[in-house]
């Protein structure tokens, strides 16, 4: 396989408009399509191509299969003090998780902490997008999501848990640059396997296994990804399933393993107001002081700078907003194919 994939560059606004058009033509309500496109391109801007527009054909397929409802009507199903639950009605993940983030912030403004669980939503993409949303409201944000088994449970050779992303974001004095951790419990996000497949390149042997549970370097043969740090990754994933799915009333892993049933996707957003802990400015001041202390550490050999969580993504986004977003040849081909099916014009940069 090639190690230097063909890529073309497209402007942020053009890619976002094209993506929204594809999703709307594929069955998403117009506002849901725009929100989903914004989330996907947000990921591409930050170099997280695994969670970017390469997902569009699958999102459209999910809408056609009824896994996602393009005209979903999510509603608040329960509220108890600082806790709320939204029944997502299989709403697109970008919309559902944004609703949960906004509700968590609303509750935190009243109680100091807000927790909003959303059940029966869909794939939520790069969840740092949602914790950044909370951080821009001046609060600490925590987000987690859950899905059917996609990752090997440590000690087994088949899927037993999800890849359960978790993100934590904290505001700083620079409102445009919160500290944002966004990670998966897997050794690698499944989308990176998809990105390698699109780019026509091999993958490291510790990313995933084939249908026989044997490690593979061929992304087309990956049946399940491996957990990060062995038992630590799969154990963390299991506990996120309890917090996000079991506690929210829509278990996913047990439904899949014992009932052979796909119960969809769930998400959880927690917002923490700094005013519950003292003066609002104190948190931002101390986050900045901590950030400076970490940045002042001597860089390792071969490293130019010590980076904070999310910093590489912000720097890359600034550059890509000016220079454009590069897309792999395979991704362009699949998007163009979807556009052709639905009578959508392909942007000149990708034609």
Provide the 3-class DSSP secondary structure of residue 114: strand
Q: Distance between CA 150 and CA 166 in Å, rounded?
A: 16
What's the domain range around 102? 7-342
Tokens of 70: 């393009």
Residue 37 falls inside a structural domain: yes
**Distance of alpha carbon 292 from its chain centroid, rounded?**
28
CA angle, 58 then 61 then 65, to 5°: 135
In total, how many domains does the chain have?
Answer: 1
Write out pLDDT tens, residues 147-180. 999 999 999 999 999 999 999 999 999 988 999 9
Measured distance CA(228)–CA(70) in Å, rounded: 34
Residues 178-229 pLDDT 10s: 999 999 999 987 778 988 888 889 999 999 999 999 999 999 999 999 999 9
- Judged against a pLDDT cut of 50, whether residue 3 lies above it is answered with no
CATH of the domain at 278: 3.30.1370.60
Evaluate whether 320 touches 12 at the Cβ level (below 8 Å).
yes
pLDDT digit string (tens) for 32-72?
Answer: 999 999 999 999 999 999 899 999 999 999 999 999 999 99
pLDDT at 1 over 90: no
Residue 349 lies in a domain: no
**In this structure, is residue 273 part of a structural domain?**
yes
- 328 - beta bridge partners? 7
325-339 pLDDT, tens digit each: 999 999 999 999 999
Is residue 120 within 8 A of residue 96, CB to CB? The reply is no
92 occurs within a structural domain: yes
Ordered DSSP codes for 223-288: SEEPBTTTHHHHHHHHHHHIIIIITTT---HHHHHHH-----EEEEEEEE-GGGTS-HHHHHHHHH
In a domain, 347, yes or no: no
pLDDT tens, residue by residue, 255-264: 999 999 999 9
Residue 2: inside a domain: no
- The answer to the question of residue 348 being in a domain is no
In a domain, 1, yes or no: no
Cα–Cα dist 314/310, whole Å: 6
Predicted local confidence at residue 197, as pLDDT: 86
């Amino acid at each position: 396989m090639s190690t230097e994939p063909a890529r073309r560059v497209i402007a942020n606004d053009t890619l976002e408009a094209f993506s929204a058009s594809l999703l709307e033509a594929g069955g998403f309500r117009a506002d849901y399509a725009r929100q989903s496109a914004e989330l996907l391109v947000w990921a591409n801007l930050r170099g997280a191509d695994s969670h970017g527009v390469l997902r569009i054909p699958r999102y459209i397929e999910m809408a056609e299969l009824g896994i996602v409802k393009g005209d979903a009507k999510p509603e608040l199903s329960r509220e108890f003090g600082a806790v709320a639950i939204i029944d997502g009605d299989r709403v697109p993940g970008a919309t559902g998780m944004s609703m949960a983030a906004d509700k968590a912030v609303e509750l935190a403004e009243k109680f100091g902490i807000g927790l909003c669980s959303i059940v029966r939503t869909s794939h939520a993409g790069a969840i740092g997008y949602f914790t950044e949303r909370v951080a821009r409201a001046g609060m600490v944000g925590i987000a987690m999501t859950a899905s059917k088994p996609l990752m090997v449970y440590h000690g087994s050779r088949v899927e037993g848990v999800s890849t359960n992303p978790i993100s934590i974001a904290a505001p700083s004095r620079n409102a445009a640059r919160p500290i944002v951790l966004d990670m998966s419990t897997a050794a690698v996000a499944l989308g990176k396997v998809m990105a390698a497949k699109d780019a026509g390149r091999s993958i490291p042997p510790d990313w995933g296994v084939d249908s026989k549970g044997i490690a593979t370097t061929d992304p087309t043969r990956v049946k399940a990804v491996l957990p990060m740090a062995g038992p630590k990754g799969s154990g963390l994933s299991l506990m996120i399933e309890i917090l996000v799915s079991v506690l929210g009333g829509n278990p996913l892993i047990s439904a899949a393993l014992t009932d052979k049933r796909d119960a969809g996707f769930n998400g959880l957003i927690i917002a923490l107001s700094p005013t519950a802990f003292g003066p609002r400015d104190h948190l931002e001041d101390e986050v900045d002081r901590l950030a400076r202390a970490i940045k002042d550490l001597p860089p390792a050999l071969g490293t130019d700078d010590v980076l904070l969580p999310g910093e590489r993504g912000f720097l890359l986004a600034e550059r890509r907003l000016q220079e454009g977003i590069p897309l792999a040849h395979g991704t362009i081909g699949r998007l163009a194919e979807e556009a052709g099916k639905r009578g959508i014009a392909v942007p000149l940069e990708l034609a």
